[in-house]
Structure 1
Amino acid sequence: MEREKIVSIVNGFLIDEFEVDGSEIYSQAPLKQTLGLDSLDYIDLVVIIESNFGVKLGEADFKRMVTFDDFYTAIQEKMGEKELVS
């Protein structure tokens, strides 16, 4: 899947499901501060990512994410790994 499509899907569910202001979502924005999610929200986020992309992000993945760009990259990398295994 192309990165632009990943960005579009992710931004769409962040705006719709988590009520994030779309103007605050850009590649170098600080992910955790912008989202302001609690631990239950992160569980919901993992479930939504899995249902949209067929990959699962774990705690270690989230720990290394600083920006939205990191978030998109992590999803893209996981999808690439899945394609290699399939």
Structure 2
Amino acid sequence: MSDQEILDKLRTILHDTFEIEVTRVTPEAQLFADLDLDSIDAVDLAIQLQKLTGKRIQPQDFKDIRSVADVISAVHRLMAV
């Protein structure tokens, strides 16, 4: 999956799950500061990413994710395993 494909899927997930406008979801967007996610939302996002990749996300792998670009990188890592 390309970065753009992951970004498109992430935009859909964030819109459908958290009602975030897709135009706000850019690689530079910070999950907590710009998109107003909180720690509970981060757990929900991790669950959605598990569904997307078919792989279990370890909490330590997700704790350093701060931006949409970080999420894209994490999805690439999960899919490479």
TM band (smaller chain): 0.7 to 0.9
Aligned to 2:3: 3
Aligned residues: 81
Give the TM-score, by structure 2 length: 0.79
Structure with more of its chain in helix, by fraction: 1
Rg larger for: 1
Moved beyond 4 Å, runs of 4+: none
Shift in alpha-carbon separation, 1:39–1:30, aligned structure 2, 3 A: closer
Taking only the aligned residue pairs, the percentage that are identical comes to: 27
Alignment of 1:35-74 (within 5 A): 35-74=35-74
Look up the match of 1:84: none
SS at match of 1:55: coil
- The alpha carbon displacement at 1:17 in A equals 1.2
Q: What secondary structure, in the 3-state scheme, does the structure 2 residue paired with 1:31 have? A: coil
- Cα RMSD (Å): 1.8
Give SS of 1:36's match: coil
Contact 1:28–1:69, Cα closer than 8 Å, also in 2: yes
Q: Distance in 2 between matches of 1:29 and 1:41?
A: 15
Closer, same or farther: CA 25–61 of 1 in aligned 2, 3 Å: same
Q: Which secondary structure state, in structure 2, belongs to the residue aligned with residue 32 of structure 1?
A: coil
Are positions 1:18 and 2:18 aligned together? yes
